Structure 1
């Protein structure tokens, strides 16, 4: 039998067996909750020991737990009274070959036998004896002591999700991904639970036409363990425990109020905690796992369960508790007429609470529309797996609302699946939905094709949507973006669109339009509004809104803000299961790192996304990867590779246009002037249409690089610099200054070049773009700045902006504490920066810093 996810534990057991075989005994207590694989590990150790070991099995037997020495009596013909004699009996058994003693379920051994085995286990070091215990802490831990104290212990943790999937795959073949994920979540990493759940699946559950298991099957051994623990509690303790079972948001205040209302003594909950059925974490009272919660809810007497619901419904009287109150109340009454009440409440609460309300409505009504309502709530709350499962169940019902299931599945695919599949689903939805919803479905199909980089398919969808009724904003967006992709005037519809947004989704469409229009200020403001309004039913849109905001910051040269926004969006996208949006954030972060010259970070981001992007056909992230790597190629003086990388980037024409300035620079440096000139035409048209000074500056810079006459090149560079200052992108301004400075130096005008190169270097230091700063320093030296410490000291050439500030103040004589107070830092941070300053500048003291700075004389 394969043991999954326990490599560390198996290595330890193998080492102990090998040591015992060589005459060096040992002992180990494997501890865990039920079902985590204690017995499996001990069985593996027995197989590992093989025939050259004598194996004694001393399993704990519940029925014999109170019979003195019952355990030892099963392996020794006569059990001596003295523990030393028991030890001598074990030593005698190990005379001719090593001895392996396995005490499984040691918590059910009688105390005398357990203590005798523990006594021997602490004294086997010089003998070929290995004693293994498997136990959970019940009965092993007493109020006075740990019965297995001083014996090395190994605590088993739940399996991770990937390992859990492997365990499931051994007992169920071709399990649907959404059902597999639900079982993995329910089992919580418990191997026995995974096997019991997988083996009990019905054909209808496997087909997705029946609900997945809500708990362990009725004949489950693991379920029986928790059921026994539950019924060992008093009636009062069971009722108090059930309040935590039926309400996962239970807090100590609500529990105390409910107990007071029912006249229950909270002290009776302590046995539930001791049995591992309840956890109190701060003011949160909960059940340790979803698995335990599901078993207790299923096996609790109906009357006790309804009493818990009723008591909680009576005390949850605050306005913010209304959704929970309604849910508990309908659990008691369970009338079909309550479904409408639940639907209304679901529409007026957050997505997490809405999921339970929709599910309760579906239970009462049997209406597949309620299943779709629950599916939508699960998707909005970040659980696309359960959403898919509910959609499959709804689709099996003949009364499923036409097109709604396909539309919701399309959304899930668009944000976290395969764009081609999303497009097909949205197109099917457009055929089946009411006419007023058709445009919404078509534009989402368009978004899927745009993500895949299929501009021709986008134009085809836009053509289909021309006469379809729907919201004006969507119609304008389709009209304007398709015009842009068809290379005709797209500004009128998109400018009109900017005046219409109201909701979060509206602001997202508008921010996208503003970017096409080249209006970076409007794009940032609209994306910011989208982020601010992304709550409630629009919460799944927040990662997308953050991506748009980060993009706007990149165009404005605000790299730190863009990085922060994209890191936030990445974390959120991963949390809510939006893998495609996470890919967008990762590749934008890769581009930001590449622009700074940080190959290690850029490649780390790329490695996390490339396989997913390729498998799903995510053209936009793949294009950003090409852009990022081409940037690094150019920075590392491989312009031919950079140009070649961008030339084959046909998978997403929009990103290709955006990266044109980089391509022109790389192509010119590698002697491909004609190709560069051809690529620039489309970018020029976009820049002229937007009239954005930042885009026009990039256009003029490209023309300067392509110019054959010096006077034309200088005029274009000068114009580009002026436009950059109007456009507000300091980083691109510095890039143009670097290129212009290099051109001036090659034109034998070194004194003119230095001013531009110094300004470029200063900006690159501010951005901590070390690669570009190195290029600027090299150009400065080539223009006649022979050494940093000469006539014009240049500590900036080696230091970041903050390091230079600290170094200058230190050179002036300020102490670390004074520098810290001046710059709002800690003295320790100042000390850390100064150590780096000394290393970079090659100095050993503050006194030596003075030669790097010029100070005014009195």
Structure 2
């Protein structure tokens, strides 16, 4: 029993007990090095094994932190050792880039209870951490417990930080004596407490210090030494202990220190002239333990201590032995990557043969589909290349592969390393283009634009055209304007002759800057001919389709956007599914599917956290819901998160739309003067000028109406004219309807009525549900003031019905008040929605089942386990009062508008 950890052990045991009962759970144990995390996990694992629970432990090692999927490969071996058949763990060992869903797939299909202990997570490779978080967040009704552990800096990882956390601090001072006596009997309590204070309660340091005391010092009969230290002091003392071991043992320890968890350690020892017997003195000294069939260091700091006292020659020799052992194995992606790492570390000095071998390893990795690993190995090769230009070309290729593998951060970093080699102009241009595009997408859009602009001066032909496209795209997501759009577009050719995806990209950019060019025909023709493959080929292609779709209006772009969403959601890749849901957030909002929108926002948050990606959309969409539903309580924290996330992503200019959302909230709460002041703010003005499509035009329309209601006719007319200038001549039907509404606010009576009617017709059609209801409310108020009560009442009843469906209680009450003012009663509504009692996840499961697919297919589509799908489906049957799948399918098919689609 570990000392002083009863509370922590109880919490972790409770998680295992829940798994035995079929409820999955996860927690990350966090604490400084040496505080006792590993001992706590060892105690838990030992207890679980004694209970007959399948227990697998994977410890991160520094040597494999940079190898994508390394920890997953170790986990596959551990599961195989625990009796899992090869086909059950196959998803963890697939070649190519590690699949974020692989661990979920494996754990959800294992029989019996499983405890997964993931220690030293700070040394896990990034894709394996993503897969771990993804599984931990998606498992629900499954007999699986996931216990991770790592140092405090681990919480900088957004995905890991999203999991429940258990902090482990020092063992209580009152138990220092009990702790000390586990390694040295006869230690007095006051001596143990003095040691505890000297090393700040660090468990490992307490134990190491007490062991080194003589009997008199432990008993308190003589004074304690002055050099009781924590952290590096422990490593130094262990390094000193290593020096006392036989030379053969020291040599074997260095081999063990440089090998990865799945490297053939016995073969590596043999290659170095050692054997496992040479490790026995280290095992007796407590530096090494044998877990399963493999010797391991008893504590991660022991590995550090061994390498700290080893000479460079000994380290190179150990890597050479490990390289020989790995080279004879079948060339999986992970082994080839390890081979390259050992090859580079074993080299006495860089030479042409080493560079050539590393390039061959990179080529092998690329053939295996492991582009991210290939990029890493090419980076190693570049570091060994004497010719700066050749090295820069290697880094250019490496950064390109990282970009292809969705790792924009790595692509930018490698490209910047290449730029530091002072390459030739063409290579520099290629590196600038990659660095610019990757930087614009992940961290700093203005800097990305500047890098892309610089690349144009160095590239020509097709490469320059690609850089032009990238710069148009990058400028589209920021306020930075390096080159005017007409100048860039001229390089691609006449707008009418461009490929559909290029036409959409350029036409949308034109809409931002060239007000006298009617791009609507070009947008319409592009949407009529573009294929789903073209629209989803790259991230910028998809985003261009979305942006242009908002320009031309959902009446034209809606069918294409829905196909794109369906393709991305059904791709089987959670990253692509996240992209698809992000698009559908916008479409769902405009189409009035707000119950579905809430569910999609929740899933966007969940998938973003599980994948460790920045979430730029869910808070922005939740703000729009909150502002129109008058949800002041949820609005404030959502606004704070939105500003923080957008600021961190270098997209500060998007926060210019936020005053408009605050204004819409004030208006929903019945505070029109506050709304008018916010809408007139300078930040909103700059935002609308930058993005003049109809996503934010409702803010300007509302400002015109509020100014007109307040008698500020001249100011209202100025805002009306500004709106017309921004939206004409290129606009959607929604934009045309907004113009009509703004004009109606200031028009004389007969003309105003015609404008309101035309606005209703243009905004209608089942696409822009909320805006149509608002238009009817404005029209009805105008009619009431002119005593046209019957016409007003009909519009108010329809608007109120929509507001109730959307959950806009304050706007529904406004309609009811207006109805009372015209002497009309409130129509009774009997709305039947089969999804009303379901949770968001239950609703998604029910909708998928209604398509006629199997539970396994539902699990794959929604990234859940089959058990979780079965449990959700059982809840759906009970809540809806149906007896089986066929009855559920019939009910869902007959659900009216407002129910699931």
TM-score normalised to structure 2 length: 0.55
Q: CA-to-partner distance for each residue in 1:188-232, whole Å, 9 max, x for gaps?
A: xxx988xxxxxxxxxxxxxxxxxxxxxxxxxx6565466578899
SS in 1 for 2:592: coil
Residues 663 and 676 in structure 1, CA contact (< 8 A), matched pair in contact too:
no
CA RMSD of aligned residues (A): 5.9
Residue 306 of structure 1 deviates from its aligned partner by 4.2
Paired with 2:813 and 2:270, the residues of 1 have a C-alpha distance of 72
Residue 594 of structure 1 deviates from its aligned partner by 1.9
After superposing the two structures, state which structure 1 stretch, 564-573 or 700-709, moved more.
Answer: 564-573
CA change 1:800–1:382 in 2 (3 A) is same
Paired with 1:445 and 1:338, the residues of 2 have a C-alpha distance of 37
Q: Report the counterpart of residue 631 of structure 1 in structure 2.
A: 664
SS in 1 for 2:638: helix
CA change 1:772–1:310 in 2 (3 A) is farther
CA change 1:256–1:717 in 2 (3 A) is farther
* Alignment partner of 2:565 out of 528, 537, 543: 528
SS in 1 for 2:685: coil
Residues 380 and 540 in structure 1, CA contact (< 8 A), matched pair in contact too:
no
Residue 362 of structure 2 is aligned to residue 338 of structure 1: no
Q: Report the counterpart of residue 830 of structure 1 in structure 2.
A: none
Paired with 2:204 and 2:375, the residues of 1 have a C-alpha distance of 37
Higher RCO, Cα 8 Å, sep 6+: 2
* Alignment partner of 1:422 out of 434, 442, 448: 448
Pairing of 1:49-448 with structure 2 (within 5 A): 111-117=184-190, 134-137=201-204, 140=207, 221=233, 223-224=235-236, 246-247=259-260, 250=262, 301-312=315-326, 314-316=328-330, 324=337, 327=340, 335-348=354-367, 349-350=369-370, 352-365=372-385, 367-375=391-399, 390-399=414-423, 401-448=427-474
Paired with 1:229 and 1:778, the residues of 2 have a C-alpha distance of 84
Q: Report the counterpart of residue 823 of structure 1 in structure 2.
A: 879
* Alignment partner of 1:552 out of 587, 591, 596: 587
Task: Give the aligned length.
Answer: 625
Gaps of 5+ in 1: 1-30, 37-99, 122-128, 142-190, 194-219, 806-817, 827-858
* Alignment partner of 2:518 out of 489, 492, 496: 489
Residues 268 and 324 in structure 2, CA contact (< 8 A), matched pair in contact too:
no
Q: CA-to-partner distance for each residue in 1:766-825, whole Å, 9 max, x for gaps?
A: 322333334334334444467x8xxx66799xx9993799xxxxxxxxxxxx99856349
Q: Report the counterpart of residue 847 of structure 1 in structure 2.
A: none
SS in 1 for 2:818: helix
Paired with 2:576 and 2:731, the residues of 1 have a C-alpha distance of 30
Residues 546 and 569 in structure 1, CA contact (< 8 A), matched pair in contact too:
yes
Residue 836 of structure 2 is aligned to residue 802 of structure 1: yes
TM-score normalised to structure 1 length: 0.57
Residue 521 of structure 1 deviates from its aligned partner by 1.0
Paired with 1:425 and 1:714, the residues of 2 have a C-alpha distance of 53
Residue 494 of structure 1 deviates from its aligned partner by 3.6
CA change 1:135–1:678 in 2 (3 A) is closer
Residues 508 and 527 in structure 1, CA contact (< 8 A), matched pair in contact too:
no
CA change 1:714–1:497 in 2 (3 A) is closer
Paired with 2:501 and 2:566, the residues of 1 have a C-alpha distance of 18
Gaps of 5+ in 2: 1-30, 37-172, 209-228, 348-352, 840-873, 883-901
Q: CA-to-partner distance for each residue in 1:603-658, whole Å, 9 max, x for gaps?
A: 32322343676798735412321221121122223334434433432323143552
Paired with 1:657 and 1:718, the residues of 2 have a C-alpha distance of 22
Residue 595 of structure 2 is aligned to residue 595 of structure 1: no
Paired with 1:293 and 1:468, the residues of 2 have a C-alpha distance of 63
SS in 1 for 2:201: strand
* Alignment partner of 1:669 out of 706, 721, 728: 706
SS in 2 for 1:650: helix
Paired with 1:625 and 1:483, the residues of 2 have a C-alpha distance of 24
Q: CA-to-partner distance for each residue in 1:120-145, whole Å, 9 max, x for gaps?
A: 99xxxxxxx9999735258859xxxx
